[in-house]
Chain A
């Protein structure tokens, strides 16, 4: 049996075996900032559109648009928070703290900004969320680049 093991391991040196995975995260190790970025941009766009509404004439179509815009803003702020939490809890590991000492703070601030964008309609806060997501995106790219070296 030991001879067989040595023989198979020697063969592996010539023709390396395929890797199989017993565990994988959904969606199997694919971590990307894009969904959070799109959600944050949608929040900013909704804020912009709400600001552009004419509240002097609150006719039915305008009210309908207003409700839909607020709803979309709410949904995408929640989506953004969820996407950020996936990156925070599933992708980033304790060793990344050495690379990014402010990692936890960056996520904490960004997810808090998601809530803040739900609470109000403020272009400045929407921009802050986009900036916070972009910063996390840079961290993600840097961490991925290091892992590939």
Chain B
């Protein structure tokens, strides 16, 4: 996700913004990998269709919806809010 997010940066991730409306295109979110529940990924929402989310990394050499497909809302842990 460079240069927007660099290795070692600390991020505040919150689900609160999604109490008042679902994730939107362009949001940077933390999600659980659909096949590896313990693996948390940072991706950007690229498209939403029928409550299914397409997530893409800023750099096209990563693993994202092109490899693991669309993800459900339940896989989204929270929205990126701030760095500290």
**Chain A residues packing against B (C-beta within 8 Å):** 4-5, 8-9, 12, 17-28
Contact = CB atoms under 8 A, between A and B. Distances in A.
Contacts of A19: 40
Contacts of A26: 63, 67
A28 B40 contact: no
Interface of B: 1-2, 5, 10-13, 30, 33, 35-36, 39-43, 57-59, 61-63, 67, 84
A20 B41 contact: yes
Contact of A9 (B2, B5, B10, B59): B10
B84 A4 contact: yes
Contact of B62 (A8, A12, A22, A27): A22
Contacts of A24: 33, 39, 41, 62-63
A23 B40 contact: no
A46 B66 CA distance: 36
